[in-house]
Each structure stands twice: as C-alpha cells, then as structure tokens.
A and B are shown apart, each in its own frame.
Chain A
Amino acid sequence: GAVVSQHPSWVICKSGTSVKIECRSLDFQATTMFWYRQFPKQSLMLMATSNEGSKATYEQGVEKDKFLINHASLTLSTLTVTSAHPEDSSFYICSARTPAGLPGLAGGDEQYFGPGTRLTVT
C-alpha cells in the first residue's frame, strides 16, 4: 500500500515553455502533498506544501507564480513549471502524506515519495 506515482518520469523541454508534472496517490487519499527539488549531489529541498482544496504554501525563495501547484483532488497534485529556463533543470520529487491513524511506518502521517521527474530545459 501507499504507492505514489509521478508522470512523466522525465521530460525535455525548450526554454520558455511550460511543463506540468503530475503526482498521484494510488491507493490512499492524501490531503497533503509535498513538492521537492533536488539538484545533483544536493539534498531534497522542499518547494511547497500542497493541501487539497486550498492554496499551496511555498517555501522561502520559491516563486509561486513560476511554480504553479494545483491540488484539486485527494489523489492528485500537479506542479507546472512556467516559462522554464535551463536553471530549472532538476529532479522534481513529490510525496504524499498518509492520513493520521492509517497503519503505516510512522504511526500514520508518513510521507511516501513518488519516483521523481527529471526535467531538462534546453
């Protein structure tokens, strides 16, 4: 249980275009999903916290108008990188949090990660 998928797994786009990445919780409802970015040999950096039905909470330094997050349902969150530039090339990973009380690895409230999306902007 607690499987999270991401689509696409990799994408190459031209500078100036927009790219949408989907994150789905396949067998549980996730009221909260998280979006991370990881540059080579760096740690995961939290970009934003996405809550179903409300606006995302962005971390300091992350442009909300550039990284659009939509969490329209309990199983789907999307991240759209608008007007992508080469410096946006990175590994984008989402995670979904299980509801509290759900049997799991950490007493519920555990985050499960998607497989990641590698974005290359040329």
Chain B
Amino acid sequence: GQNIDQPTEMTATEGAIVQINCTYQTSGFNGLFWYQQHAGEAPTFLSYNVLDGLEEKGRFSSFLSRSKGYSYLLLKELQMKDSASYLCAVRGVMNSGYSTLTFGKGTMLLVSP
C-alpha cells in the first residue's frame, strides 16, 4: 500500500521562502507529484519527480530522494496567491497493472503580508 505524510499547516510571510516536506512509504514507485489546490477547486499540477534530485520551475522547485522516501516542494518569493493546499502524490503500480496516484492529506499554506 501507500502511506504519505506531510505537515497539516504552515505559515509564511510574503516574499519569504517555504519548504513543504513529504515522506512516503510505497509498495511500488513510479513518480512523485506536487499539486496546488485552492479551496473549492480541483488540484493543478506543479511538479513531477521520478529521479533523485532537484527540479526547478520558476518560483517552485521540487526535490526527491527515492532511497529516503522523501520529497520537498520549495516555494520562493512567496505571494499572497500562493495561499493554498499543497498535495504530495505518489504514483504507484497496482496489482492490476494500472498506475494510480495516492494523495497525501495536503499542507495548508497561509501566506501573510
């Protein structure tokens, strides 16, 4: 099965940097995703890691260590609009052969002025 842990809430100030951690245990691993979800809306894709290392995309970066079952999402130059829930999701291969995403409970980030 899959087990994904991430902090429930984080707070930060505008312009700062914040790191959201995610740890996972999985029976099969085929990639880790980060999604952003604003209240009442569907998740939107932020990043994808399948190999160890850092993936940078503008103000957002994501890191993966497969041996440690660990990832983080780094948000730089925080803006008020970054206040949202950030979901860590692991893609695994089920016994049926299909791949599926398992989501963590999300980290609610509140950015204050």
Whether A93 touches B87, Cβ cut-off 8 Å, given contacts A43-B106, A46-B101, is: no
Whether A114 lies near B42 (C-beta < 8 A) is yes
Q: Does A67 contact B (CB under 8 A)?
A: no
Number of interface residues of A (CB under 8 A): 25
Whether A118 touches B99, Cβ cut-off 8 Å, given contacts A42-B105, A106-B33, is: no
Whether A32 touches B98, Cβ cut-off 8 Å, given contacts A106-B33, A115-B42, is: yes
Choose one: B50, B101, B105; the contact of A111 (CB below 8 Å).
B101
Whether B48 lies near A106 (C-beta < 8 A) is yes
Q: Does A88 contact B (CB under 8 A)?
A: no
Choose one: B43, B44, B45, B105; the contact of A110 (CB below 8 Å).
B45
A interface residue numbers (CB < 8 A to B): 32, 34, 42-46, 49, 51, 57, 91, 93, 95, 105-107, 109-116, 118
B interface residue numbers (CB < 8 A to A): 31, 33, 40-45, 48, 50, 87, 96, 98-106
